[in-house]
Structure 1
Amino acid sequence: MIAPVPLLADLTPAWLGDALGRTVTGVDTELVGTGQMGSCHRLRLHGDPDLPATVLAKLPLADAAARAAMAFGYTNEIRFYRELADTVDIRVPACHYAGLGDAGVFTLLLEDLAPARVGDQLAGCTPAQATAAAVNLAGLHGPRWNDSTLLEIEGMLLPTKEISAMSQLAFTPTMDTFLTAIGDTLTPADVDTLRAVTPHIGDWMSGRAERHTLLHMDYRLDNLLFGADGTVFAVDWQGMSVGLGGRDVAFFLSTSLSIADRRAHEREIVGAYHARLLDYGVTGHPLDQCWDDYRYGMLQTIFITVFGLVLGARTERGDRMFRRMIEGGCTAIRDLDVLALLEQPAGPQRPPTGG
């Protein structure tokens, strides 16, 4: 495999021809998306008649120091397409090339799914779209359910008590920073909920480790594409991890549906997700337990949103998006009495090393 390149200017016809195993005589480029964690470009290819007309190229941040800091996430995404995509049943773009170098250098060439449309975090989605996305998510979780070999992959670890304690130490001041930044734009009820869940984050992270699977970790509308026939595709695998499947489900439903639609349809959608898990051979996981895991997983919305705002670049759209996500997550935490679950004694734990 040829070496990956970090910059758009490096995607020459000669390099692309080597990467794709075809003759490329020319390429036109178009920026796609906002590029906060890297950049994405649509490449219109000219050359061999069997070349795809277009591909999407994902590249790291242009600044060398910044991309080195993002190296773990870039490695995660390359690892997903190289090692894991073929072991699960979630729909994703086909991968034409996945190259990883040193210090955060990577290149991905992916199937261009246009005219499929990217979801809009601010606009939300319909219950039918949410159901399709939840069933697609079961295609990630079901095939690797309680698969201890996941824990043999570099970087795929269940949180230990030590890691959870460190996460708690980091999260508490991060929450303070978050509330200083946008707390005055939140309702008093949501601020109270955020302060109430903050002391539980560390224990929550290591809780329910007896059930684990492969997690997307950022499964939300901005990272999904919807085809005209309702087909859903998932992208952006930089946050991939191992943990409780209910975390992905809770994060998606609380941030993608309106509060009214979530209240009206969440049991039905969790039921559809659970039925699909059973299709993949998951056993010993009744629907009431799946529902409880969904409730328990609701802190994922708070965890991702708080760190996302504090660590990411602030934008007007980003602040609006984070406020909407917090409102959805906090309301769900109250509706579902999640604090009562957090205050229950922890159940048996699977050792972090698997087995």
Structure 2
Amino acid sequence: MTETIEIPTSVNQLTPAWLTAFLGENGHDTSIVSVAAEAVGTGQMAGSYRLTLDHGSPTDLPATMVAKLATGGPEQREFGSGVFRNEVRFYRDLAAGFTVPMPRCFAATISDAGTEFVLLLEDMGEAVQGDQITGCTPAQAESVAVAAAGLHAPRWNDAALLEEMPLPGVPEREMMESILAPMADVYRDRFSPDTTSSAAIDWLVREAGDWLVAPLRNAALIHGDLRVDNVLFGPAGDVTVIDWQTITTGNPLRDIAFLLSTSLTTEDRRKHERGIVASYHRALVTEGVTGYTLDECWTDYVANLIQAPLIIVFGSAAAQPTERGTAMFDAMLSRSAAAIDDLVPGGLGGR
């Protein structure tokens, strides 16, 4: 942790002197003489900026990096402290154990309170961030799902991981249920969802408690917010997964259900989801997972479609209101509600 210098909460505080000291404390010898910054990405909880650095002398460090930091007001940063800790923890302590494609992290720091943090990450160059409102192609979704196997498989049913990051239990269920219905009401007031989407919210409130603590046959580290806004697509079709703020342990198909039900159009999902789940399953097997059939994988996919409305309702409350955010959450809930209606037996039958 960087303790000798104050952690910035504004891009203007990422000065040459601060960056030089920060990189030095993280084992990189440089003396930056100038820095230029431009905003990148569409993050809802933190700001991201591409930094163009003049190192002043030869160095192994690149000339550009992406800086991610908490930029909101004190209340917003306090609200986000848990997810900030998650992302710093992932890059510092966990990332090296996985094969999922992700940016290299050059330096990381977070305050004791978790309300201030900075990450200096690899600039992925010509890669383009996915657009959650437009969605992605089936081929792109398949590439992301296959890449996700490199997150799930390496610590599949890893007892040490589950001891370090326990699965939710009764206290977590009680806490979630105490705030879920009020947050669902806030979502309805803010977004005015259509009939099917509103039924999906009713279903979420009704089913989420049992789902959260249901016994699992398989568990792994999951991204928790795996959708195309959190993926960079390279010119050669390669993918890089970003925004590791919501990592947790759980059924790995939570990630795949969330990805496909929110990032594909309803028509594309209906045509391609079984094939994409099969490709993901093959990737798990290739990565070393055994004793897990494709039928079990599909059953887990359907059982975890609840991940989408859950993240949408909670995420919309945490995010700063923006015109794009409103359109994004509306599109995501509409698509995921259609998936629930299609696949979950009796899921929205109470409409």
Common topology (TM > 0.5): yes
Partners of 1:206 and 1:244 in 2: how far apart? 11
Residues 1-355 of structure 1: pairs in structure 2 closer than 5 A? 2-3=2-3, 5-7=7-9, 8-18=11-21, 19=23, 20-34=28-42, 36-46=44-54, 47-50=56-59, 51-103=61-113, 104-153=115-164, 156-183=165-192, 185-186=193-194, 188-339=195-346
Partners of 1:70 and 1:122 in 2: how far apart? 24
The Cα of 1:162 is off from its aligned counterpart by: 3.0
| Local SS of the residue matching 1:89 | coil
For structure 1, which segment, 55-64 or 8-17, has the greater mean C-alpha deviation from structure 2 after superposition? 8-17
Partners of 1:181 and 1:105 in 2: how far apart? 29
Partners of 1:34 and 1:113 in 2: how far apart? 16
Partners of 2:2 and 2:191 in 1: how far apart? 46
Percent sequence identity is 43
TM-score (structure 1 length as normaliser) = 0.90
Partners of 2:325 and 2:316 in 1: how far apart? 8
TM-superposition CA deviations, 1:140-193 (whole Å, max 9, x none): 10111111211333xx2311023213312221222122223223x41x233233
One-letter code aligned to 1:230: G
Q: Please tell me whether the aligned partners of residues 168 and 199 of structure 1 are also in contact (alpha carbons under 8 angstroms).
A: no
| Local SS of the residue matching 1:24 | coil
Q: Please tell me whether the aligned partners of residues 41 and 57 of structure 1 are also in contact (alpha carbons under 8 angstroms).
A: yes
| Local SS of the residue matching 1:301 | helix
Partners of 1:63 and 1:325 in 2: how far apart? 27
One-letter code aligned to 2:180: F
One-letter code aligned to 2:20: G
TM-superposition CA deviations, 1:248-272 (whole Å, max 9, x none): 1000001111111101010110001
Q: Please tell me whether the aligned partners of residues 303 and 344 of structure 2 are also in contact (alpha carbons under 8 angstroms).
A: no
One-letter code aligned to 1:221: V
Q: Please tell me whether the aligned partners of residues 295 and 338 of structure 1 are also in contact (alpha carbons under 8 angstroms).
A: no
The Cα of 1:35 is off from its aligned counterpart by: 5.0
Q: Please tell me whether the aligned partners of residues 5 and 11 of structure 1 are also in contact (alpha carbons under 8 angstroms).
A: no
Partners of 2:57 and 2:269 in 1: how far apart? 49
- What is the alpha-carbon root mean square deviation over aligned residues? 1.9
Alpha carbons of structure 1 residues 190 and 27: separation in structure 2 relative to 1, 3 Å: closer
Alpha carbons of structure 1 residues 194 and 15: separation in structure 2 relative to 1, 3 Å: closer
TM-score (structure 2 length as normaliser) = 0.91
One-letter code aligned to 2:143: A
Partners of 1:152 and 1:21 in 2: how far apart? 37
Partners of 2:214 and 2:345 in 1: how far apart? 14
